[in-house]
């Protein structure tokens, strides 16, 4: 065996070892991070009970006060209840608007206090974001929330552990209207309803176009025998 070949083989083996170690390192680092693109995680809900004709509208609220009134009016007219995931900072700043959601009988969920990327936070910081919102909502309602929707769908193991320790279930979604970005009523309607099926969790926000699309979305659900229910009713077995 030539000296050159031995050197070549040695370099090749070392390169493979380095690549394998690098790959293992990446797996170790990323093991703690969970993202919206993995729908098979334990302790996280991406869909409700598919055996029932129920769907849920999840409305995340940190802004959009000017359109909440129209959305509440539509929900009242169709006699349906949804789940509003509220930011603690928003509740503190707009207590009257928040109280309107509660008085209409809608379910209230936790959406963190400062809309932080939870996947970048420690266990303690994850817990603080959830707990601070829990406290401010309880101060107004006297009720304990138990559903947590991570801002931007970003979370890690600490998020799940801290939420569970506080008695929360982590809620994601099965379809996203992306209404915060795409101000198009027809597009929002299509994303919310196309092939809509049992157990779906539909994410939306209080935007102008969503408020306009909401009657059409609820009409679609009605004509397709899909009951619009709060998230807790949807995920219960």
Per-residue model confidence as pLDDT tens digits over 114-132: 999 999 999 999 999 999 9
Q: 204: closest CA among 220, 222, 188, 183? A: 188
Residue 139 has pLDDT above 70, yes or no: yes
Cα–Cα distances in angstroms (integers) from residue 114 to residues 51, 96, 120, 128, 199, in the given order:
36, 19, 13, 10, 29
Q: What pTM was estimated for this model as a whole?
A: 0.83
| Range(s) of the domain holding residue 74 | 44-235
> Is residue 36 assigned to a domain?
no
Lowest mean pLDDT among 19-28, 83-92, 165-174: 19-28
Q: Are residues 8 and 61 in the same domain?
A: no
146 within some domain: yes
Decide if 38 is inside a domain. no
> What is the rounded CA–CA span in Å between residue 216 and residue 203?
16
Same domain, 11 and 89: no
Q: Are residues 25 and 118 in the same domain?
A: no
Look at residues 115, 118, 122, 111 and name the one whose alpha carbon lies nearest to residue 35: 118
Please check whether residues 12 and 65 belong to one and the same domain. Answer: no
pLDDT tens, 18-60?
Answer: 343 343 333 333 333 343 445 445 579 999 999 999 999 999 9
Domain tally, the chain: 2
96 in any annotated domain: yes
- 103 and 10, same structural domain? no
The residues near 131 (Cβ < 8 Å, ≥ 6 apart) are 166
Per DSSP, what are the bridge partners of residue 170?
Answer: 44, 148
- Quick one: 106 and 190 in the same domain? yes
191 shares a domain with 163: yes
Based on the fold, state whether residues 113 and 191 are members of the same structural domain: yes
For residue 210, what are its two tokens? 């969503």
Query: Mean pLDDT of all residues in the chain?
Result: 87
| 22 and 129 together in one domain | no
- CATH, residue 52: 3.20.20.370
Same domain, 77 and 165: yes
Give the residue among 137, 77, 72, 130 at the shortest CA–CA distance from 105: 72
| Residues 12 and 100 reside in one and the same domain | no
Cα gap 211→209, rounded to integer Å: 5
- Cα separation of 192 and 198, whole Å? 13
Are 61 and 147 in the same domain? yes
Are 54 and 198 in contact, with CB atoms under 8 Å apart? Answer: yes
Closest CA to 115 of 88, 148, 80, 96: 88
For strands 83-86 and 201-204, give the pairing: unpaired
């Amino acid at each position: 065996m030539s000296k050159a070949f031995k050197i070549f083989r040695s370099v090749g083996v070392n390169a493979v070892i380095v690549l394998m170690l690098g790959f293992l390192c990446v797996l170790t680092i990323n093991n703690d991070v969970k993202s919206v693109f993995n729908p098979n995680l334990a302790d996280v809900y991406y869909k409700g009970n598919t055996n029932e004709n129920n769907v849920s509208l999840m409305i995340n609220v940190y802004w959009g006060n000017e359109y909440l009134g129209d959305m509440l009016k539509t929900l009242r007219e169709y006699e349906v209840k949804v789940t509003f995931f509220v930011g603690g900072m928003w509740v503190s700043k707009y207590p009257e608007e928040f109280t309107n959601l509660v008085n209409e009988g809608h379910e209230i969920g936790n959406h963190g206090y400062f809309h932080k990327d939870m996947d970048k936070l420690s266990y303690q910081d994850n817990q603080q974001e959830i707990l601070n919102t829990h406290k401010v909502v309880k101060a107004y309602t006297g009720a304990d929330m138990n559903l947590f929707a991570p801002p931007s769908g970003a979370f890690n193991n600490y998020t799940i552990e801290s939420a569970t320790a506080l008695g929360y279930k982590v809620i994601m979604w099965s379809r996203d209207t992306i209404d915060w970005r795409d101000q198009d009523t027809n597009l929002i309607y299509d994303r919310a309803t196309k092939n809509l099926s049992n157990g779906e969790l539909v994410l939306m926000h209080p935007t102008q176009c969503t408020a306009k699309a909401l009657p059409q979305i609820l009409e679609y659900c009605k004509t397709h025998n899909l009951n619009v229910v709060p998230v807790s009713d949807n995920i219960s077995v």
